[in-house]
Amino acid sequence: MQNIKHINLYKQIVVGLIGLIGTITILSLTVQHGTGITPDSVVYISVARNFADHNTFIMYNGSVLVLQPPLYPIVLALIKKILLIDPQVSTSYVNAILLV
């Protein structure tokens, strides 16, 4: 019985360390290179900015967001409205938190 508890504890520690390494990796790469390097990232950031400013789901090219799920841009827009942090900056931290 004690061996099973120790094995479970080691598994939790290993999973926690992997999450910590992933979080540090995400933060170091996105701080260094920035976010918005993929088409999806650009769409999410532009929709989040537009939703925070105008309450609409309009992308950078003027079309309506219909293919991607809207929850992530809504979270980024709320961060912009509440904390006044631009989605370009907050995406690094939101992604790191979501990884853990």
Q: List pLDDT tens digits, range 42-100.
A: 899 999 999 999 999 999 999 999 888 899 999 999 999 999 999 988 988 888 888 77
CA distance 88 to 59: 14
Distance CA 82, CA 90 (A): 12
Six token digits for residue 65: 């967001």
Long-range CB pairs of 2-9 (<8 Å, 24+ gap) are none
Q: Are 50 and 56 in contact, with CB atoms under 8 Å apart? A: yes
pLDDT tens digit sequence for 7-48: 788 888 999 899 889 888 888 887 777 776 788 888 999 999
